[in-house]
Amino acid sequence: MLRFSTTHSLRKEFARALCDILFVPDPEDRHRIMTWLAIAKPGMTFEQIQATNPVWLWKHCRRIIPPPDILSPLINEFFLTFGPLKDAITKQPLFNSSNWQYAWRIHEIIQQGLVSDPPGIPLYIQISIDKKAGGLPIYRCCQGTNSTEGGIHTHLRSHLPTSGASVRHANASLCDFILQHNLRVSTYSIL
């Protein structure tokens, strides 16, 4: 929702800091990883592994989005801190008037609880155990549309015309795909 100039020097730092506020490492996983690091790699901290090997870390550590009562004040302070900061070259602030309006809309959405993880619904699935890392679990995140909608939408693209098709042709292709899918699913459910 927020659009920044591609030349603004604080654009990447803003995105990283926002990600760190939104996605908080699960305390249990963080403790488990810190314990393993103390034994396997003495002197290495959670923050160092996050900086040097984030792909490995986020496979082994779940992240949660805090509830609105915790997240809302953090985001408010974050926007007030980053918004007026100016670019060193252009002297333009990170937030223009449009970005300020979107920032307050985002803040309202957070206050309503629409960004936070739903309570009691697990969003991570343990897919295996990493024997090389002292038995740390490896997780797969179920958030996002790819994992929830991928079942049908993955195969849909191959059934649509690639180019030069009319709306009527695309609609007929969709109807054919739906019919074939429904016949296949109903056959499996009957058996």
Lowest mean pLDDT among 21-30, 74-83, 116-125: 116-125
**What pLDDT, on a 0 to 100 scale, did the predictor assign at position 23?**
92
Q: Who wins on pLDDT, 183 or 191?
A: 183
Pair 103, 2: CB distance under 8 Å: yes
Residues whose CB is less than 8 angstroms from the CB of residue 136 and which lie 6 or more positions away in sequence, other chains included: 32, 33, 36, 60, 129, 130
**What pLDDT, on a 0 to 100 scale, did the predictor assign at position 147?**
47
User: Cα separations (Å) of 21 from 74, 103, 115, 157, 160?
Assistant: 7, 15, 12, 36, 40
* Over residues 89-110, mean pLDDT: 90
Using DSSP's 3-state secondary structure scheme, residue 191 falls into coil
Pair 82, 14: CB distance under 8 Å: yes
**What pLDDT, on a 0 to 100 scale, did the predictor assign at position 7?**
80
Question: 134: phi > 0 → left, psi -120 to 50 → alpha, else beta; which?
Answer: left
Pair 32, 44: CB distance under 8 Å: no
Q: Say what the pTM is.
A: 0.66
**What pLDDT, on a 0 to 100 scale, did the predictor assign at position 5?**
77
d(CA 69, CA 79): 16
Domain boundaries, the chain: 11-143, 150-190
Is the confidence at residue 99, as pLDDT, over 80?
A: yes
The candidate with the shortest Cα–Cα distance to 95, out of 115, 78, 118, is: 78
**To the nearest whole number, what is the mean pLDDT of the chain?**
86
pLDDT 10s digits, 106-156: 999 999 998 898 888 888 989 999 998 889 999 988 775 454 455 666 677
Report which residue type is found at 110: I
- Parallel/antiparallel/unpaired status of strands 24-25 and 136-141: unpaired
